């Protein structure tokens, strides 16, 4: 059985938690959630049920929130969804609006 002295145990330190391991901020969650809503609206527009203009507005708001989150150095891999979705919708809008 191993036994450590108090000095050895007292000198053990714990590494800090990396930023990637932290929970996403409410700002990042809002951006990704709104991007999901925009995707649903695009699907509705493709099905002929309307929502094309609203999808662009929601995608733009999600894009703006994601930019703010990135400026604040928030790291979450899902933030790329709103950052890529809005430019993609702008380029492809003649196809589905």
pLDDT in tens, 27-75: 999 999 999 999 999 999 988 898 889 999 999 999 999 999 999 998 8
Q: Is residue 10 part of a domain?
A: no
Q: Is residue 2 part of a domain?
A: no
Of the segments 3-7, 19-23, 55-59, 90-94, which one has the largest average pLDDT value? Answer: 55-59
Does the residue 70 lie in any domain? yes
* 19 belongs to a structural domain: no
Residue 61 inside a domain? The answer is yes
Domain membership of residue 38 as a residue range: 24-91
Taking 70 as the threshold, does the pLDDT of residue 12 lie above it?
no
CA separation for the pair 46, 42 (Å, rounded):
6
For residue 97, being part of any structural domain is answered with no
pLDDT value of residue 15: 63
* Confidence (pTM): 0.74
Look at the chain and report how many structural domains it folds into: 1
DSSP classification of residue 17: P
Q: State residue 50's pLDDT score.
A: 86
């Amino acid at each position: 059985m191993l036994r450590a002295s108090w000095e050895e145990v007292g000198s053990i330190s714990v590494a800090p938690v990396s930023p990637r391991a932290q929970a996403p901020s409410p700002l990042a969650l809002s951006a990704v959630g709104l991007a999901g809503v925009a995707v649903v609206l695009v699907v509705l527009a493709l099905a002929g049920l309307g929502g094309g203009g609203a999808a662009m507005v929601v995608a733009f708001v999600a894009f703006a929130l994601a930019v703010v989150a990135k400026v604040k150095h928030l790291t979450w891999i899902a933030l790329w969804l709103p950052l890529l979705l809005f430019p993609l919708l702008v380029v492809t809008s003649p196809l589905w609006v």
